[in-house]
Structure 1
């Protein structure tokens, strides 16, 4: 009998390890996982933070102000990483220090502010630059229900009717593509213009 107990005790650690392995497997199968539910959660278009009556400024590497955004309220949407702004007023300076001011009922900006869609009573005004050699370029103003502003490349586009005021001249069109760096303006659709005579 003693010999039988000795032989059984040899296998006892193996039997205990087997029971522990079965117990661990059972726990792993029946323990609820928190991470899995989070990863499978459907991403919705709901804001994750708000700002009210705010002002945000951005600066370049030398400390010079690049842009300033004011708004009555802003909402950030994490699924698209966009910022929707109510009653925006945006002031932006290009590399030459020229000021552009934009307003609208609503603005939709991407994460870094390089693209801004102005919606409802949109107005973009490029102030007259400092006089250089020759005649000073006049102030330039774009108006429409929708204006898409590309800040870094200094472009303005719209697929909706627009009005352009350049000094005393006035143009209307069904759509627009303006390149401020290349000084190229494309008006499409029904284009009408009134050009005032230049004073001598």
Structure 2
């Protein structure tokens, strides 16, 4: 069982891409629409389910006026909670919680996020995969969004845009970059490859 997360920073939230993301995620077995309820499930502030059409959810996300938490479904009983947050710099942050998932299910979520990061038209700034929840997701905001000089503990997987890797790698000589796909550079401790 995992109690970790995947934090996905999209470069700009100027374009809503929920429908395209749902298509990519769906190809990996993650569905936006609950199999039995026939609607997307958004969690309200009390944690209760609110059923919405995918189009209405996309419209609300497109307004970018508040954070929203929704579920992606591996089955009618197994969900992945995804919190959408918009930062003042125009960056969209999605945090997908891996709580209660098996290793294989967490692999599925990770593969879906990486595929979407490569396929969607809005560039990805960073993807942080912390399977064990060793750090707090918000600790990555400073280095990823605001040029912070402190680096949180390295997660299981860190992928950065080439521009962000160009800034990180000289500042942190204990890290090295690899050859990435989809414009993302995998970053690891020196000698760990």
Query: Normalized against structure 2, the TM-score is what?
Result: 0.30
Larger radius of gyration: 1
